[in-house]
A = this chain, B = another copy of it.
Amino acid sequence: MSAARSLLRALPKHAAARRAVVAPRALHPVSAPVVAVRHASTIPPRAEQFTKVTAEHVKALRGLLGSPSSLISTLDGSATVDELVTYNDDWMNKYHGKGQVVIRPKSTEEVSRVVKYCYDNNIAMVPQGGNTGLVGGGVPVHDEVVISTAGLNQVRSFDPVSGTLVADAGVILEAADNYLAERGFIFPLDLGAKGSCNIGGNVATNAGGLRLLRFGSLHGTVLGLEVVLPDGTIWNGLKTLRKDNTGLDIKQLFIGSEGSLGVITAVSILCPRRPKAMNVAVFSVESYEAVQQVFAEAKSHLGEILSAFEFWDAQAYDVVRHHKAEVGEEVRKVFETEGPFYCLIETGGSNGDHDEEKLGNLLEDLVTEGKVLDGVLAQDSTQFAGLWTLREGIPEACGKTGSVYKYDVSIPVKDMYSVVEKVRLRLRENGLLTGDGQAEGPIKACVGYGHMGDGNIHLNVVAPKYTDEIEAAIEPYVYEVVSELRGSISAEHCLGQMKAGAVHYSQDKNSLDQMRRIRKLYDPKGLMNPYKFIL
C-alpha cells in the first residue's frame, strides 16, 4: 500500500513542472488553417417552394424588431458578405451557407414575430446558437434566414432550494456555470466549447460532454423549455418541477431536434450541488484492454464520486505535443513510461478526505497489480486544469494541425476502439496513411479519444485539406463499421448536414417515418432548418 501511495504521491513536483506545459482550457471556436472543400453532390438543391428574400422582406422584418441593429443583411446594405461569414460558415470552415439575412432578436416576443413573418411568407429559417457545432447543423445550407439566439442572454431565475435554473437560450454555457458556481451549484453539462456555445444550442443538439457519466443526459435534467414553434406561436413549457406527469412529455421532442421543430428561447434545468472536492489523475496504460480494466476498477472503487472517465490514444497525445512544439511552447515529459493509451479519472464529492482515500485505494490497486504504466495526480487547481488539458487540448490541436474529419460515435465499450483501427487500416489500403496513425502519409493523423463511461469515441482524421478522395475513403465505411458493431453514428453531435444522409445506419425505416411525421406535424411547410437532420 505505502509503495503504491508513494509512487503516486511522489508526483507533485513532476506535475508542478507541467504548469508551463498546459494551456488554458481549450475554447471553441478556433479557426481552421485551410479552405475547405465539400462534396457538392451531398448538398441538397435549394427548395423552389421557399421564397427568395428581398429588400422588401428585410424592411418588414426589421420593423418587427425593437432595435434596428438586431438585423443585418446584404440585401439592404446593412452588412457586407464578409460580415455574414461568421453566421454562414461553421467554425471548422467545413460548411458554407449563403444566408443574406441574420436576425438577433432580443426577446422571445421578437423571435415569435420574426418566425411568424417568415412562416407566413414561406421563408426558410435556421436557428443558430454559438455556432460551435461539428456537423453543419446551425449554419444555412442555401439562403435560409439565420435566427441567432445570441441576443437572448439573461438568467431568468434560480431557486437554490431545488437547484432549478431558468435562463434564456443564448446564455453561454460557461457563463451559466459561473453563475451557478457562485451559488454552490454546477451546470449538469460540460464540454470543450463551453466558452462559446449557448445552452439553447446544447439542448437543441442534446449535447453530451464530460459530465454525462455523473449527471446523466439532458433528457433527464431539462425540466422545461420555452419554444417558438415554426408558425411563430410561443409554447410556454418552461416548467420548474422535478416531477410532472400530466400528459405526453413533449419537451423531450425538442431535445436533440436540431432546431427542426422550432427555436428554443429559454431552458429550465435541474442543477446539482457543486462538489466540494474534486480530484483528477491521469495514467499511461499498455493496451485498450488495460483501459477497460482501469475503468472497471475505477467504477468499483469510486462508485458515486466518479465524475468522468476519459481516454485517448498515443497518436492523439502526439498531435497535442507536436502542436505545442510548433507554436513554440515547451513540451515536458509528463509520464516516465509512456504507453499506447492514456486515461483520465475525475472524482467529485462532498468530502475531500473521503474522496482522497477512495482514490488512494484505487491508485494502490492499479499500481500493485501492474494495471498502469505510470500516473500523475493533480495537487492543486492549476494542475487539475492542466491534466484536463491533455484530454481537452486534443480537438484544438487537431484543428490547428489540419482539416479534421470528425466522427463522434457510440459503440459498446468492448469494441469501441476497433473503429479507429479499422479506419486506419482502410486509409492505409487507400494509400492515404503510411504510418501508424500519424505523420507519414497524406493524412497527418488518425486519432481516437472519448468518454469511456458513455461508450462514446471521437475519431479524428487530420488531413492537409478536405478532399473528396479522403471523404470517400472514410464515408460511408466508418458508418458501416459502426452499424456492424451495433453502435450509433452520432453519439452527441447530432446529424446536421454531415450525417443526414447516413442516418439509416442507426435508425430503421419505421423510426425515421415516425420522426418525419412528427416533423411534418410541427412544420408542415418544412421551413425550419431545412436540408438537414431527418430529410
Contact = CB atoms under 8 A, between A and B. Distances in A.
Interface of A: 159, 161-162, 205-206, 208, 212, 216-217, 219-221, 233, 235-237, 239-250, 252-253, 255-257, 273, 275-276, 292, 296, 299-305, 348-351, 354, 357-358, 410, 412-414, 451, 454-456, 486-495, 499, 503, 506-508, 510-512, 514-515, 517-519, 521, 533-534
Contacts of A247: 256, 495, 503, 507, 511-512, 515, 533-534
B507 A161 contact: no
14 contacts: A161-B292, A161-B413, A216-B216, A235-B510, A241-B488, A245-B256, A247-B495, A248-B253, A248-B514, A252-B252, A303-B349, A303-B351, A350-B358, A517-B521
A9 to B, nearest CB: 20
A309 B220 CA distance: 19
A330 to B, nearest CB: 36
A487 to B, nearest CB: 7
B243 A491 contact: yes
Contacts of A233: 510
A249 B495 CA distance: 13
A162 B511 contact: no
Contacts of A302: 350
A510 B238 CA distance: 13
A3 B283 CA distance: 45
A351 B205 CA distance: 37
A510 B350 CA distance: 42
Contacts of A221: 216, 220
B487 A248 contact: no
A296 B178 CA distance: 22
B304 A350 contact: yes
Nearest to A487: B241
Q: 4 nearest interchain CB pairs? A: A220-B220, A303-B350, A252-B252, A244-B488
A360 to B, nearest CB: 12
Contacts of A499: 246
Given A219-B252, A243-B491, A305-B350, 18 more contacts: A212-B242, A216-B221, A219-B220, A220-B220, A237-B511, A241-B491, A242-B410, A242-B454, A244-B491, A245-B490, A246-B488, A246-B503, A247-B507, A247-B512, A247-B533, A275-B303, A276-B303, A300-B350
A408 to B, nearest CB: 8
Contacts of A236: 508, 510
A96 to B, nearest CB: 24
Contacts of A256: 245, 247-249
Contact of A219 (B219, B454, B506): B219
A220 B212 contact: no
A488 B351 CA distance: 35
A489 B239 CA distance: 13
A205 B302 CA distance: 33
A213 to B, nearest CB: 9
Contacts of A216: 216, 220-221
Contacts of A494: 245-246
Given A351-B303, A518-B518, A412 B162 contact: yes
A446 to B, nearest CB: 22
A301 B276 CA distance: 10
A400 B190 CA distance: 50
Contacts of A300: 273, 350
A472 B248 CA distance: 28
A256 B250 CA distance: 11
Contacts of A517: 521
A404 B300 CA distance: 44
Contacts of A451: 243
